[in-house]
Chains A and B, each alone.
Chain A
Amino acid sequence: MTDSALTPPLTKTAPASSLRRWWHGSSRLRFLIVFTVVVLGLWEWGCWVTGVRSFTFPAPSLVWRELIADPVWLAQNTAYSLGAALAGFAISVALGLLLSIGIVYSRILDRTLFTSLVATNAIPKVAIAPLFVLWIGTGIESKVLMAVLVSIFPMVVDSVVGLRSVDPGTLDLARTYRGSNLQIFWKIRFPGALPSIFAGMKVAISLALVGTIVGEFVGSNWGLGFVILQSQGQFNTPRVFAAIFVLSVLGILLYQAVDLIERRAMPWHVSHRNRHDDH
């Protein structure tokens, strides 16, 4: 609805699909920009009208000032959090895939590992974070570990579901031609599980960032979590907002990156077919 409102009538007559695609993409982007500007404007206006203190709720202009006040320092802290989150995510994906393969192929692992994983997932992992700092210190390792711990569960669960939900008919096809287990895995099970695996990765990437920040809250001298905690201690609410803003942008970018990889990895999947022609 909003798309059509913002898209000029040119779309209808545009002959090349690439041109149409571009229009669609740009209309989406333009909508986002307009929307953001309107929200920020209202926010700024609201702050001045109500006279709310910047300590309680800062206006966007103050947050912006904080953002550009010390860009190098902010960038360093962002890089620290990003590094920890990415490392945690990578470990989560690799380990999660290995575990899920084990669980799918081994009854014992399914009974033991999968069951205990489900059980431990019920523990609020945030509560364990202080333990990690005790055990392995306030270095980046505890953040990475926290990111892994928080993000591995959806990775395993989704991969297991994906690997299990293979069409038995395609397995029959493989059996007819005496395909080996390894062949069946690489040619049928794994590609068939990719949609699920990527769904798990999309949840995991966001959770890895959450885990990192929690780790930094508990004990750190670096990272966006540290920036938020420190600024809060100094009653510098605009800087807290600035850090949260950077964090949100980071979250969106990471998610989009996984989405992009997904589209590259499986252009055949339903969700990516003719994306631009069906509306």
Chain B
Amino acid sequence: MTMAAASAQADMADNSGVQAADALVKLRSVYKTYQSERGNVLALENVNLDIRQGEFLSLLGPSGCGKSTLLRCLAGLERISSGEVWVRGNELAGPPEDLGIVFQRDMLLDWRTVLDNVLLPLEFLRRPTKGYVEPALKLLETFGLRRSADRYPWELSGGMRQRVAICRALLSDPALLLMDEPFGALDAITRDNLNIELQRIWTQTHKTILFITHSISEAILLSNRVAVMARDPGRIEEIVEVDLPWPRTLAMRETPEFIHHAAAVRKIFERLGAFTG
């Protein structure tokens, strides 16, 4: 069964030869095992994936299926056990250049104000932060945080903190953006608005985005393709193309085409018997 899935993936990689040529990120037979005293966990098994230049790709799957692990391997933060990861034609050794990350936890520094937290990556990149204060405030404005710029992270709600983390990842305008459940802590309405906002940013800046989510409709709304993952061991089960027209609107979620896509994805989970997570 797993063998079949693996070969199906390999086929897919072969079939999309044209796109693979301008793939920004390539993963080939990636395995990741976490070793600990309490036994080894096979977090990723034979993952093959191409992320095309300028693509919006979502990773969708139940909790613990290795989504964060995949993202961290791709970011060069976690060593893979075997296989290959290529970014921009170079085999990965450490975090690639021009990368932005939104981690699953917000990772804000308690001793920095919201604005200073957002400016932190530029300090690491040794870019003069002065010229970035205005853009940072503008970015905070789009995420409804302008008035919180001088507050400390612990004075914010969970959703606000997560939005600050998104601003922090966006400010350096990275070509490759990895987002680990960025909207997980938000209410439905804010989430809808930020989905549209993210789509706008993506279409305007031509970023390549890897987006992790638990929400089927969010994945379909935003993505070119949705990679559906399964767990025990963590693997990519199927990659679903979403051929809905752009720009996508919130109202599209009620259209038959959208519902058809959502049902297709849900079927995969039902087949896996892992829908509950």
Chain A interfacial positions (CB closer than 8 Å to B)? 167, 169-170, 172-179, 183, 187-188, 191-192, 194, 266, 268-270, 273
Contacts and interface: CB of A to CB of B under 8 A. Distances in A.
Contacts of B124: 174, 177-179, 183, 187
Interface of B is mostly: loop
Contacts of B109: 170, 187-188, 191-192
Interface in B60-74: 72
Interface string B105-126: 1010111000000001101110
B105 A187 contact: no
B103 A173 contact: yes
Contacts of B94: 175
Contacts of B125: 177-178
A167 B77 CA distance: 14
Interface residues of B, number: 23
B240 interface: no
B110 A268 contact: yes
A175 B77 contact: yes
A154 to B, nearest CB: 23
Contacts of B75: 176
B143 interface: no
A169 B107 contact: yes
Given A176-B95, A179-B124, A183-B124, A170 B111 contact: no
A270 B154 CA distance: 9
Given A178-B125, A191-B109, A268 B120 contact: no
A278 to B, nearest CB: 13
Contacts of A191: 109, 111
A177 B103 contact: no
B99 interface: yes
Given A167-B107, A183-B123, A187-B123, A172 B154 contact: no
**Those 6 A-B pairs whose CB atoms lie nearest each other, nearest first:** A177-B124, A179-B124, A177-B121, A191-B111, A268-B111, A169-B107
Contacts of A174: 124
Nearest to A266: B111
B152 interface: yes
B22 to A, nearest CB: 24
B25 interface: no
B263 to A, nearest CB: 37
A173 B111 contact: no
A273 B120 contact: no
Contacts of B76: 175
Contacts of A188: 109
Contacts of B77: 172, 175-176
Nearest to A172: B77
A194 B112 CA distance: 14
A179 B125 CA distance: 7
B210 interface: no
A54 to B, nearest CB: 54
B105 A173 contact: no
B110 A170 contact: no
Given A173-B107, A176-B121, A268-B111, 15 more contacts: A169-B107, A173-B101, A173-B103, A173-B120, A173-B121, A175-B95, A176-B95, A177-B121, A178-B124, A179-B124, A183-B123, A191-B111, A192-B111, A268-B152, A270-B154
Contacts of B99: 176
Contacts of B154: 268, 270, 273
Contacts of B95: 175-178
Nearest to B95: A176
Interface string B68-97: 000010011100000000000000001100
A177 B121 CA distance: 6
A187 B120 contact: yes
A80 to B, nearest CB: 38
Nearest to B165: A173
A231 B80 CA distance: 73
A252 to B, nearest CB: 28
Contact of A176 (B101, B105, B123): B101
B110 A169 contact: no
B253 to A, nearest CB: 33
Nearest to B122: A177
10 contacts: A170-B109, A172-B77, A173-B107, A173-B120, A174-B124, A175-B77, A176-B101, A177-B172, A179-B124, A269-B110
Nearest to A188: B109
Nearest to B110: A268
Contacts of A269: 110
Interface in B22-81: 72, 75-77
Contacts of A179: 124
B111 A169 contact: no
A17 to B, nearest CB: 15
B123 A169 contact: no
Contacts of B172: 177
